[in-house]
Amino acid sequence: MKKALLLCLYCFTLTVSAQQKDLRSPRQLFPGLFEAVQMGRIFPDNKTFVDATPREAPAVVLAAYAEQRRLPGFDLKRFVEAYFQLPEASASGYHTNIAGGLPRHLDTLWTVLRRPGQDSVAPYASLLPLPNSYVVPGGRFREVYYWDSYFTMLGLRVSHRPELLRGMVDNFAYLITRYGFIPNGNRTYYLTRSQPPFFSRMVELLAQEQGDTVLRRYQPALLREYQFWMAGADSLAPGAARRSVVRLAGGEVLNRYWDQSAEPREESYQEDVTAAQRSQRPAAQFYRDVRAAAASGWDFSSRWFVPGQGLESIRTTGLIPVDLNCLLYQLENTLARASHLRGDEAASRNFQKQAAARRKAIQRYCWDARANWFVDYDWEQRKLSLVRTLAGVFPLESGIATSTQASKTAAGLRRDFLRPGGLITTLATTGQQWDAPNAWAPLQWMAVQGLRRYGQQELASTIAQRWISLNQIVFQQTGKLMEKYNVENITALGGGGEYPLQDGFGWTNGVLLDLTKQYPAYSR
């Protein structure tokens, strides 16, 4: 089985290498034209152009643009439509049957959001081919996304779709093999950053279904992802950082979010350029921190801002996120188990040691005894972040918290975060989508699991019941499941951020299915 998998991935890699050697992003392929399209806002969403497929080679397109743009009456949008195939609307032609009920809708969505694997893609397209079928989130998100997919997979397991679940895990292993890490999504413009490292959780999920042979099978990919996140750690002096790693004053190594590029995001180019003009920070640093926030998945939130200020103050790379380090703690533990199963006891002991050191460091740097909450650590200013967020539940879900810390966190959740529809993301209302009054499915799930782990069953049940009910209410009103929800006013929809509310929606579907399995009395 292992040899067959490796041979399949190797052959697919050779095919892709032969057919798509050019991994340049749209901005790199179409300089000048790209900036004109994105800054001219000829499409309401900057993601439209970067997802379009060129009809001709870049040299042909750029030559035509150079010639035609000087002509009287030149229409840039008409030019783009002539030389590019624009992306189709996701789930076009699909109409919800509300009367059919939410369970049927959820099952149908796996077909609507499923995309087939590809041996190749059109030349110069931004899409990166994957060998197996996968599920996209929906709406403007036409490609697979890294951390979204774990929560989608929870639903695939409940829906008894093991082949699709296994195929998606294999896709992520392929991405690690080909690119050395899992990109934010399978697009060329995402090749500078990753996302919250849930791959080990995906492998563990599959192992629950298929046994421990799964851990042995994916151990090489797990190890390579770990090497990506820890690159440069050994050579760091205390108080220094390199890419994703930071060595703290006490010698401990923890991680931060990072993006290799210091340019505006191509999929949100106009927004980034405009925001940078309002910032007092150097443009390159501003762009880096915006990109790092995109790598976190929390784009955007007051979590990353100077307290009391807005996006112009963003400083993501100056913070050590508590949730990221909990995920890497889990990766280290998974690698310890996988190494043991492969008979490499020395490696297993080493990963156990790394996990123990990370757990101790999270306790030292991320627990705020005055706030009774796990927070991010400001490594540049050597102090705890003042911002409490739902990232503080990750130490419960991963088992890092003490029972006393879990009890205090539960009290804080009930007192400050619990709303009629579930848990708000932060306590600040800023207009950013990862702030109040919005709530997101993955954070509800992490909170529920963390509370259950520490025996806080009543609060876990309350959160699950309110979230499930909110999903059901919005479905009855709209026929849709949403990317995010307003949990303060359950009659209003979620909002904020730099693009309209999206429906689909992969991780909402997965979490809803998993929670209704855990709490069947709340489903209807």
The more confidently predicted of residues 514 and 3 is 514
Per-residue pLDDT, 102: 92
Q: Which run of H or of E encompasses 85?
A: strand 84-85
Residue length of the chain: 524
Which pair of tokens denotes residue 107?
């099952």
The per-residue pLDDT for range 58-69, each reduced to its tens digit, is 999 999 999 999
Give the separation between CA 81 and CA 396, rounded to whole angstroms.
50
Q: Which run of H or of E encompasses 383?
A: strand 383-384
12 — pLDDT class (breaks 50, 70, 90)? very low
Which pair of tokens denotes residue 256?
């931060």
Per-residue pLDDT, 90: 59
359 — pLDDT class (breaks 50, 70, 90)? very high
The per-residue pLDDT for range 238-250, each reduced to its tens digit, is 999 999 999 999 9
Q: Is 51 a catalytic residue?
A: no
17 — pLDDT class (breaks 50, 70, 90)? very low
Of the candidates 209, 268, 246, 396, which has an alpha carbon nearest to the alpha carbon of residue 321?
A: 246
Q: Identify residue 341 by its one-letter amino acid code.
A: L
Give the separation between CA 173 and CA 167, rounded to whole angstroms.
10
Which pair of tokens denotes residue 188?
């060329």
| Catalytic annotation, pick one of 289, 483, 503, 514 | 483
Give the separation between CA 496 and CA 481, rounded to whole angstroms.
17
Q: Examine the pLDDT at 260 and tell me if it is beyond 60.
A: yes
Average per-residue pLDDT in the chain?
A: 94
Per-residue pLDDT, 16: 44
263 — pLDDT class (breaks 50, 70, 90)? very high
Which residues are paired to 419 by β-bridges?
Answer: 422
Per-residue pLDDT, 62: 98
Give the DSSP letter string of 390-454. GGGGHHHHTT-S-HHHHHHHHHHIIIIIEETTEE-SBS---S-TTSTTEE-HHHHHHHHHHHHHT
Give the DSSP letter string of 50-65. HT-EESS-HHHHHHHH
39 — pLDDT class (breaks 50, 70, 90)? very high
DSSP symbol at 268: G
Is beta strand 438-439 parallel, antiparallel or unpaired with respect to 422-423?
Answer: unpaired
Q: Examine the pLDDT at 193 and tell me if it is beyond 90.
A: yes
Q: Three-state DSSP class for 169?
A: helix
The per-residue pLDDT for range 130-175, each reduced to its tens digit, is 999 999 999 999 999 999 999 999 999 999 999 999 999 999 999 9
Q: Examine the pLDDT at 86 and tell me if it is beyond 90.
A: yes
The per-residue pLDDT for range 447-500, each reduced to its tens digit, is 999 999 999 999 999 999 999 999 999 999 999 999 999 999 998 999 988 898
Q: Examine the pLDDT at 217 and tell me if it is beyond 70.
A: yes
Q: Examine the pLDDT at 21 and tell me if it is beyond 80.
A: no
Q: Is 271 a catalytic residue?
A: no
Residue ranges in 193-236 assigned as alpha helix (H) = 199-210, 213-230
Maximum Cα–Cα distance for the chain, whole Å? 73
Q: Which run of H or of E encompasses 241?
A: strand 240-242
Give the separation between CA 453 and CA 334, rounded to whole angstroms.
18
Spatial CB neighbours of 277, under 8 Å, sequence gap ≥ 6: none
Per-residue pLDDT, 295: 98
Q: Identify residue 310 by its one-letter amino acid code.
A: G
| Catalytic annotation, pick one of 148, 225, 299, 397 | 299
